[in-house]
Structure formats: C-alpha cells, structure tokens
Chains A and B, each alone.
Chain A
C-alpha cells in the first residue's frame, strides 16, 4: 500500500514539475504578436544621435494580394541614442513587439557612414535577433529616403526583393553581396577595409 502511495506521489510531483514548464504559456508570443522589421535605416539625428527607420511587413499581406501589386509595408522612424533605445521607443507606440530576426538589409546614409558606423555595427552584431547575413547598404541620400523609395515592380514581397537584389552580384559585376558579418570582420581586420553596397534612393 505504502509502495503504491509512493508511486502516486512521484507521478504527482513529476506532473506538477512538467506543468510548471507551461505556466508561462499565456505569455507565449505567436507570429501575430510580433512586428517583423525587414529593413532598418540609420541616419544622423536632429535632436538625438541617430534617426532609426524601421520597415515592417504586414502579416498575411502576401495572401491578400493576388493582383500583382506590391504588398504594403509600414515605415516608422524614431530618433534615439542607440539601436536598443530606438527599438524600445518603437515598441511603445506600435501595437506589436518589434522583432529583427527577419531583417534583410541594414541601410546607412552616406552622411552617417562618413561620421563612422562602428558603434552601430557592434550593437547589431551583439543582438541575437539580427542575422549575420543581413546586407549592408550605404544610401547616397538618407536611409529613410532609400527605404521609402523601395517599391519593387517585379516582386510582391519587399522582403523577397531585399533578399534577391544583392544576389544580382552573381550575374553582374556592378554590385557585391556584402553581409553584416563580412562588414564587421573587415572592420575589425588589420589588413582589410570594409565595403558595402552603394544605392541611390532616386534610382
């Protein structure tokens, strides 16, 4: 009898412990709760150090659009002292939590690039969400202008456009497929200089 009781007590404890793993289930985030940024732009700020522009895709926008029109995206800009502050600021006014795990391109304005972007590159490299294969683009105008000007005519999804565009370097010699990790490695290197993709927002 005592042996059976012991078994039931063990099963009960194990069940309690297992269920503790799901205690936080009510706060689990689904895809609908996140705002995925596909592009981030960095400009020199007017009131703060930097102006960060986020381009978000609307969930299910690919399914809604069968007419061949480009799926709409949302662009928001904030001024902050660093990327983390900017993400926090955006989180305060958008209804979803900003997630950078699907960020395809990181755009810097030419003016900002001339001032130095190593701080931002370090911050981005240290963020687990940001993929090391995101492309680095330098815009001849402002980064915000470039992001707003991206309206792909042959592509419905702006995220796919960002992914495919740098790969044109495989069949043209006019550009290069520069990833964040390559840029950072060259920035840290003693025998190489970092290079990025140059883009004109008006083109």
Chain B
C-alpha cells in the first residue's frame, strides 16, 4: 500500500476531475434546464449546501482515519454490510464509466467522426483505460494531476474568451421559475458534486491522513468554482432552447471563440484536450471499480479481471439504443443514483458508524478504530 499512496494535490485533482468531466459533458445543461435563469443562484446555493455536507463528512470520518467506506461498513455491519455497500459502489462505478463512455463516444461521432461506428470509438477509449490501469493507480493519478491545470484552463479560457458574446441579462429574473424551483426542487442538483464519492474511498491512499479535511474542502470548493464558471458561460452565451439541444454545450461555447482572422476554430484543440480529460476520468473510475471488487473478494492482484471488467463495461455501454435513451439515463437516472448513494446511503452509513463508535466507547472506554481492530 505504501507505494500506492497519493499526495494532497493528487487527491485534489482526483476529486476535481469528476466535476471537470461532467462539466465538459452535459452537467451545465442539466442545471440550466432545471433552474433556467436562476442557474447561477442555484449553483451558489448548492455549493454552500455541499460545503456543509463536506464538513459533516469530514467530522464523521475523523474517528476512522485511513479507513474507506467499505472498512467502515465492515465495522458497522460486518461482512454482509461491507458486501452490500461494495456491490452498490461497484455498480455505481461501472454504471458511470459505461454511461460516460457511450455519451462521449456518441458526441465525438456526431461532431468529428460521422462515418466511424460508436463501437470503434468506445474500443479505442477502453484500450486507453486498460493500458493506463496496467500502468498502475499512481500513474493515473499523477498524469491526471499533470493535465488538470490544462483541463481547468480550457474551462476558464472559454469563459474569458466569450465575455464579448455575453448577454448578462439572461440571468434575469434572478429567481428563475420561483423560490421553490430554485432552492427546494433545485436541491436535486446536488448530484453535480458526485465527486464526493471519492472522499469516501481515498482515505487509505492518502500519504497524510490529517490533510483529509483540507483536501475535501479545496477539491469541492474548486469544483464549485468550475461549475459556476461553466454554468455562467452557457447561461450568458446562448438561450436555453439551444443549450438543451446541444451534444456538448461547452463545445458550443468554444465554437464562438475567435481572435481576429488568424486564430479561428479553436474548438478542435479543446476537444482534443477533453478526450484526454475523459480518458483520465474513465481510467480513475475504472481503477476504483477494480479496487472495490478486489477489496470485496480479497484478491491480491487486479491484473486478470481488468479485461473482464472492460468487456462488461463495453457490453453495458452499447445497451442504450439511441441518444434519447443516453440522455434519459444521464439526466433522469444518474442524478438520483448519486443522490441516493452519495448523499443518502454514504452519509447514513457514516452517521450510524459514529453512533456505534460512541456506544462502544461508552461501554469499554476510549477505543481506537483502525484496520487491526476490524
């Protein structure tokens, strides 16, 4: 495990990569569709709420240093609960990788490769994922950290380069369709911060367990800024009707960028960077899927079943018949899975584990929960 430990910046980039890639795909589209002109207010609101939740998670994890959610589930309910939680998390990662793989491949096909089959694009991306996973977890996390400034730069660049095309009045009326839609129904947009799932899983990989709190706040704070910037870009640049039609809404924004007659059509560069970004994200999620599986079945090596996982993900990714079904999965199913698993089940598990911890502490005096005691 010692050689698999990751530093603070690597951990921050790891959590941030979830937000960056969902922003590239269609997260801002979902938020603008549900909140219309109040999208910015809604993002600010859910960011504050999510920072509160992160504070709660950090507090709840304090008693379980270096333990991930599977270890905590094992502490709370033994092997049965650990298996249930493990299967749910495994299912989440496989579902996420499959959906994003298919969605991005379909988008690439429409934009750049109209004559190439989606399966071919998916196979190439899956090959990249398998090769990076062969290189190891640290290689993936480090290369992700290396590329993260470039990924973030593209999002910020699109915002600043488009300022001249902004119509700021599009954020009026400020509360969009009303207080209820913006603040209460808008709470469902918490799914945007699905990167929190990594906060449950990274503690065993951290070099410095004490920095868990700062990693959590910095990564989620940066994710909130990233989301705010992308939502503002799209809201100010185009009407809602066209954003909801676009495959990659941020790509639409990048198509408007030009600097005189010399620098035009920069969108191709952005798409190239985003292909690398998506590959990094898929590799990380895939790596976590294999790790959860490995932990569930107590396997020592992950090599032989990565190929099986790849085939399984490919099989799930080709299941949706068309873009309508993919959009339905992304906008109607995925958010609820995140809300239930990350914000519901994950938090409930931590709360109950803490209650059990205090009950044991009360019974036996001060105890220290670590791997040896589980």
Q: Is the interface of A mostly helix, strand, loop or mixed?
A: helix
Cα distance A181–B234 in the bound complex, in angstroms: 13
The reply to whether B124 and A21 form a contact with Cβ atoms under 8 Å apart is: yes
Interface residues of A (CB under 8 A from B): 14, 17-18, 20-21, 23-24, 27-29, 125-126, 128, 131-133, 163, 167, 181-182, 184-185, 188-189, 191
The reply to whether B256 and A128 form a contact with Cβ atoms under 8 Å apart is: no
The reply to whether A189 and B167 form a contact with Cβ atoms under 8 Å apart is: yes
Leading 5 A-B pairs by shortest Cβ distance: A188-B239, A132-B255, A21-B124, A132-B256, A128-B111
Residues of A within 8 A of B258 (CB): 133
Cα distance A182–B264 in the bound complex, in angstroms: 17
* A-B contacts at CB below 8 angstroms, number: 49
Residues of B within 8 A of A181 (CB): 165, 238, 256
Cα distance A28–B112 in the bound complex, in angstroms: 12
- Residue among B123, B127, B169, B264 making CB contact with A191, cutoff 8 Å: B169
The reply to whether A24 and B120 form a contact with Cβ atoms under 8 Å apart is: yes
Given A167-B261, A189-B239, 11 other A-B residues pairs in contact with their CB atoms under 8 A: A17-B123, A17-B127, A21-B120, A133-B264, A181-B165, A181-B238, A181-B256, A185-B167, A185-B239, A188-B239, A188-B242
Taking the nearest CB of chain A, how far is it from the CB of B219, in angstroms?
Answer: 34
Cα distance A17–B311 in the bound complex, in angstroms: 13
The reply to whether A133 and B256 form a contact with Cβ atoms under 8 Å apart is: yes
Taking the nearest CB of chain B, how far is it from the CB of A101, in angstroms?
Answer: 9
Residues of A within 8 A of B256 (CB): 132-133, 181
Residues of B within 8 A of A24 (CB): 115-117, 120
Cα distance A29–B115 in the bound complex, in angstroms: 9
Residues of B within 8 A of A18 (CB): 127
Please report which residues of chain B, range 16-52, place their CB below 8 angstroms from some CB of chain A when the two chains form the complex. Answer: none
Cα distance A191–B245 in the bound complex, in angstroms: 22
Cα distance A188–B167 in the bound complex, in angstroms: 12
Residues of A within 8 A of B239 (CB): 184-185, 188-189
Residues of A within 8 A of B261 (CB): 163, 167
The answer to the question of B110 belonging to the interface, with a C-beta cut-off of 8 Å to chain A, is: yes
Cα distance A182–B242 in the bound complex, in angstroms: 13
Cα distance A21–B123 in the bound complex, in angstroms: 8
